[in-house]
């Protein structure tokens, strides 16, 4: 691969990594726009007013908090992708052995750089022989994932809150039936009102939980995809550029 082709590949990969935060911002912007439209036409206010259990409001608050966490994690992964791209630029020199020896401690800060430095330390400690980075790669994968698992937990929690609201709504709806007197028109009217309130609670909390869970799942799916790209690039960089040079240098 010549220098022009290598530069093109690095540029395309770097642009793809930097797009992770941009994609999240576009998706969140569309979600905010949809929320503003629903608020403008009164649907969100109707949901909050009709839900006497305040579960819909709790779902909305948890959704906003989880979105903030996803933004923080996406921004961190975006920075890791940029740092990994800069590492590739440094280690793409023709004389990579000299570049690695000179720049191992001057690479941009990041988890990929820490992994490369760990490989250099392991090669110096181990001496000659094949350099196995399996355990170090597992550590890198765990560190890159960080707290991404909160997304699955938050999505499941929103779903469960929606189901809880459904159960409570049906309880409110069916409670008046036990003591209902068909001959008492006033009691019938009051019971119908309570049944309507219970149905509203059940439907609105279920809807809020489902929509929030789906949106959270999509955001963290994009975050996991960006994390996987950074990890794959780190594996490719170390397996093709770093590990062979360290093994050849110590064997020699």
The pLDDT value given to residue 102: 53
pTM of the model: 0.80
- pLDDT value of residue 222: 93
Domains contained in the chain, number: 1
Residues in the chain: 252
Task: Tell me which residue range forms the domain holding 206.
Answer: 3-251
Give me the pLDDT at residue 5, please. 44
pLDDT of the residue at 206: 92
| Residues near 62 by beta carbon (within 8 Å), at least 6 away in sequence | 154, 157, 158, 161, 212
Instruction: Please give the sequence-ordered ranges of beta strands (E in DSSP) within the chain, or none if there are none.
Output: none
pLDDT at 37: 93
| Rg over CA atoms, the chain | 27
Contacts of 131 (CB under 8 A, 6+ apart): 119, 122, 123, 243, 246, 247
CB 146 within 8 Å of CB 220: no
At a CB cut-off of 8 Å and minimum separation 6, what does 48 contact? 56, 57
Q: How far apart (Å, rounded) are the C-alpha atoms in residues 192 and 164?
A: 22
* pLDDT tens profile 56-92: 999 999 999 999 999 999 999 998 888 888 888 777 7
Burial class (CB in 10 A: 0-12, 13-18, 19+), 165: buried
Reading the chain (252 residues) residue by residue, the pLDDT tens digits are 444 444 444 444 444 545 788 999 999 999 999 999 999 998 888 888 888 888 999 999 999 999 999 999 999 999 888 888 888 877 776 555 555 555 555 677 788 888 888 888 887 787 676 778 888 889 999 999 988 999 999 999 999 999 999 998 888 887 766 666 656 666 666 666 667 778 888 899 999 999 999 999 999 999 999 999 999 988 888 888 788 877 776 655
| pLDDT, position 104 | 55
pLDDT, residue 96, reads 55
At residue 10, the pLDDT reads: 41
133's tokens: 């980075």
């Amino acid at each position: 691969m010549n220098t022009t082709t290598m530069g093109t590949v690095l540029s395309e990969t770097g642009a793809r990594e930097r797009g992770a935060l941009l994609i999240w911002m576009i998706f969140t912007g569309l979600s905010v726009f949809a929320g503003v439209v629903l608020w403008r036409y009164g649907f969100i206010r109707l949901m909050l007013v009709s839900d006497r259990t305040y579960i819909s409001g709790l779902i909305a608050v948890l959704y906003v908090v989880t979105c903030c966490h996803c933004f923080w994690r996406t921004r961190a992964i975006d920075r890791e992708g940029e740092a990994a791209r800069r590492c590739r630029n440094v280690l793409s020199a023709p004389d990579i052995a000299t570049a690695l020896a000179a720049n191992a401690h001057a690479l941009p800060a990041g988890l990929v750089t820490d992994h490369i430095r760990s490989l250099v330390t392991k090669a110096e400690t181990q001496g000659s022989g094949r350099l196995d980075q399996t355990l170090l790669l597992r550590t890198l994968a765990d560190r890159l994932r960080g707290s991404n698992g909160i997304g699955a937990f938050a999505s499941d929690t929103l779903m469960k809150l929606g189901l809880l609201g459904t159960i409570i709504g049906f309880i409110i709806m069916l409670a008046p039936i036990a003591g209902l007197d068909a001959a008492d028109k006033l009691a019938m009217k009051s019971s119908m009102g309570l049944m309507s309130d219970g149905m509203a609670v059940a439907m609105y909390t279920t809807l809020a939980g489902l929509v929030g869970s789906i949106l959270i799942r999509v955001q963290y799916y994009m975050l996991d995809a960006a994390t996987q790209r950074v990890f794959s690039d780190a594996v490719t960089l170390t397996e093709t550029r770093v590990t062979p040079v360290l093994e050849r240098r110590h064997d020699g």
